Structure 1
Amino acid sequence: MKPVRYAFDSAEVESRFAAFPESARAGLLKLRALIFETAAATPGVGAVQETLKWGQPAYLTPETKSGSTIRLGLPKQGGFAIFTHCQTTLIPDFRSLFPDDFTYEGNRAIHFRDGEDPEAEKVGLLIHSALTYHLKKRA
């Protein structure tokens, strides 16, 4: 997946990305771009707000409240990760589709190795599910 540049609205978030180790930054920026691309292509999501939560870049849908928060960061084990709220079914549902394709951290994250290129098609499904999580619960 070729990274697409999306402007940062927040200097705090931009400086957080700049502080990530270069070995993880490229993958995190690819995940960031995939979040914005998926949101733009998904009806009912609306604008995505990028902010910091617990010191990590976080992505919310405040306009529509359609989604559950997605965070990007560095797991203690190394590499980089995409995190979802642990009390949702997002990771368990995703793991049922791809049980052996990813390294999972319980119900809260998918881990990637430094330099790994996140599979846009598969990870995009997780992002889509997170961005529409509350829409499904309302239906």
Structure 2
Amino acid sequence: MSPEDLKTLILSVAERTPEIGPLEESLKWGEQSFTPAKRNVGSSVRIAPRDNGDVALMFICHTNLVEEFRGLYPDGLVFEGNRAIVLSEGFETDQAGLEHCIALALTYKLRKRQRPA
């Protein structure tokens, strides 16, 4: 999956998920970054192309997002530490799982506030 395909996918997930709303696109650490325009909705998702042709979806490392994704999709996605989903040419990515993870990241703050104490 190319960085442009991932951008299209992120925008599509946001469009289909009303609570996310429009996204702001910016550059963070030289990577395309997407964050809900409305504050306190979600966490950013960044696209990081790699020199070897892989593309990583990067998440803020002090969240528990990648841990949550790993629990949901242990075999359908490839993870890197506590900060990335890595998309490799030779690995069949769980497309629905990837879309779900993007939606979970973009609604992270909403979901965090809705959890029972």
Q: Given the two structures, how large is their TM-score scaled by the length of structure 2?
A: 0.85
Is 1:47 the counterpart of 2:29? The answer is no
Aligned residue number for residue 101 of structure 2:
126
Cα separation, partners in 2 of 1:28 and 1:119, compared to 1, 3 Å: farther
Is the 8 Å Cα contact of residues 76 and 94 (structure 2) preserved in structure 1? no
Root mean square deviation of aligned Cα: 2.0
Aligned residue number for residue 4 of structure 2:
29
Is 1:108 the counterpart of 2:80? The answer is no
Structure number with the higher helix fraction is 1
Aligned residue number for residue 79 of structure 1:
54
Is the 8 Å Cα contact of residues 79 and 111 (structure 1) preserved in structure 2? yes
Task: Kindly provide the CA deviation profile for residues 34-86 of structure 1, in whole angstroms up to 9, marking residues without a partner as x.
Answer: 11111111122111011100000000113243110100012466511111111
Which consecutive unaligned segments of at least 5 residues does structure 2 have? none
Q: C-alpha displacement at 1:113, in angstroms?
A: 1.6
Secondary structure at the aligned position of 2:101 is classed as: helix
Q: Given the two structures, how large is their TM-score scaled by the length of structure 1?
A: 0.73
What one-letter code is carried by the residue in structure 2 that aligns with 1:85? I
2:69 to 70, 94, 97: 94
Number of equivalences: 114
Identity of aligned residues (%): 35
